[in-house]
Structure 1
């Protein structure tokens, strides 16, 4: 504003126009005044540019840093000019977003751990209480006949297996979260592995109301797996099927495109289609209150099955029909 008035003052005072251009050139004072005016305009423009392209974005970053310091990570930097300062602001804002995502992940991890502790505490207490009750009944001599005695022992064994599954699930889940999980891969004969496992499991169904049907002979080939983790996959699949089956569980094998397929099918109520995509999420249950009360389990079993199967370069597939049942199939590459 001052510069504008100054320029007008010079022109009106000295009556400078197109006719008197020669006088302007001959007058050193007018030249000096014009030079000063140009310099003032130049520096004002420079100050405006510096303010716009340097001081304003720096001020905005300072405000953003203050917001981050107070815990507000939802304060974006609006400066997005295509210059060095603009690139710096973009990187600063990316850092803010990454920090926000990291904190959200930490909060979610903490919530998962709390839910895990709550679920495992509840699920450990239930079978322990049951085991204690059956042991006390046997110790007090309440059971007189051998059939009831064997049935009590089978129930105790079943509850002990459930405890073992819960502890294994907790161990795998925790190691996965900490990034400390590793497999001990061996070249295993699939037929022997499956026969040994399911022949032992048939005893667990001796006094159950559910029939375990094994479609033998199992496929005999070689697979590269961790035997203990493979057993854990089968444990979780069989345990899950046993919770929901009405009368039977069918286990079968086949080979498709150089992959061994192991299927565990139950004749339960089936799973609504909308829930299938979330089945393998940690702590997910189709009917959480009912499942925890009537079926037991922490909601980690299927999530761990998926993790372990994929760790073996395999895949898990689920097919379900309402009122007919559900089939879980794992595919493991064959060692050719």
Structure 2
């Protein structure tokens, strides 16, 4: 029962109960003073006159008594019903206060078990949703720290070992010193890449990164990316295949950031491919129902389990423990934030033929309408 209905019923009870009780008391007083026959309306006129005179004599006293009784009954009824409602409210406030104390103790798994359909139900549901989001953020923070620590430790260890090799004289020849120097240069580049990724992610997360959008022909842009990157990824064992690139589709994006998204997806495919040579098929087609453009990048890698599809875009998430040694895990998280800033959505799908598909959906822009603005 809602609090509004409780108050409405309480008000009715506070009005009707005193009236009923006062009426009962008056009837009892009348019976006590005149007996049962005093209530007989067929009594002789002389007796009725005598009764009326008696009521006139005692009327003021009886009225005062009835008023006092009515006030007492009303006050007692009001106190009882108010206490009952306040007890319900205080109980919930105590529960919310308990939840706040649990949060202060970093117990973010605490939830309010409240199923009554009243005005407090949305408050409790909001509290539980907030708790779930805080718990998820805390888990992401812990994973972020653990991921950063792992990803920074690996190249730093290699750099330290190479420096120790040079200082201790293990690298005694020019070729060995050059080899160790090359390792230091490569691992320094890895560190720089991780730091740049973290910097970009933090800027996007705090909404402090400027997006410079412009109207772009989607198919032409994807063709340029494939032509520019094909040789590099082919040497790394990934073949870029353009399957369907529909013409004359325009989207409003930041070309440099969008290119970073595409590269992040390619890099993710290279890291997790199991065959010596992997393939990724690129589709770019219009969605007539939603008036959007869909860009699909489908690989033939191992894929992920269905329950992990939504988690692929979480910070430092890996689909399984064996992938913890491969990369920072920031690429898809950054891609999701970039696409969201451009007004689009990105999702992962499991194709029937196997592998993993990353699908980007962006609003389709009519070129003439855009120029008219």
**TM-score if structure 1 supplies the norm length?**
0.69
Match of 1:199 among 218, 224, 228: 228
Pair 1:323–1:189, CA change in 2 (3 A): closer
Match of 2:31 among 6, 11, 23: 11
Q: Which residue of 1 aligns with 2:324?
A: 292
Q: Note the alpha carbon deviations across 1:99-156, whole angstroms, 9 max, x for none.
A: 56445533432332222111121122223434565687799376849xx96xx95996
Does structure 2 conserve the Cα–Cα contact (< 8 Å) formed by 1:154 and 1:204?
no
For 1:36 and 1:198, the matched residues in 2 are separated by 101
SS at match of 1:42: helix
**CA positional deviation for 1:58:** 3.8
For 2:243 and 2:353, the matched residues in 1 are separated by 27
Q: Which residue of 1 aligns with 2:305?
A: 272
Pair 1:9–1:162, CA change in 2 (3 A): same
Pair 1:60–1:102, CA change in 2 (3 A): same
Match of 1:24 among 51, 67, 70: 51
For 1:314 and 1:135, the matched residues in 2 are separated by 46
**CA positional deviation for 1:272:** 3.1
Q: Which residue of 2 aligns with 1:108?
A: 136
Match of 1:234 among 262, 278, 283: 262
SS at match of 1:35: helix
Pair 1:25–1:104, CA change in 2 (3 A): farther
**CA positional deviation for 1:185:** 1.6
Does structure 2 conserve the Cα–Cα contact (< 8 Å) formed by 1:272 and 1:322?
no
Match of 2:67 among 19, 25, 39: 39
**CA positional deviation for 1:240:** 0.8
Residue 204 (structure 2) pairs with residue 184 (structure 1): no
For 1:317 and 1:178, the matched residues in 2 are separated by 22
Q: Which residue of 1 aligns with 2:199?
A: 171
Pair 1:154–1:251, CA change in 2 (3 A): farther
Q: Note the alpha carbon deviations across 1:28-87, whole angstroms, 9 max, x for none.
A: 34323432343244224422442255454345434544554454784869796xxxxxxx
For 2:232 and 2:257, the matched residues in 1 are separated by 21
Residue 264 (structure 2) pairs with residue 244 (structure 1): no
Unmatched 5+ residue regions in structure 2? 1-20, 102-110, 368-373
Tell me how many residue pairs correspond in the alignment.
Answer: 316
Does structure 1 conserve the Cα–Cα contact (< 8 Å) formed by 2:349 and 2:357?
yes
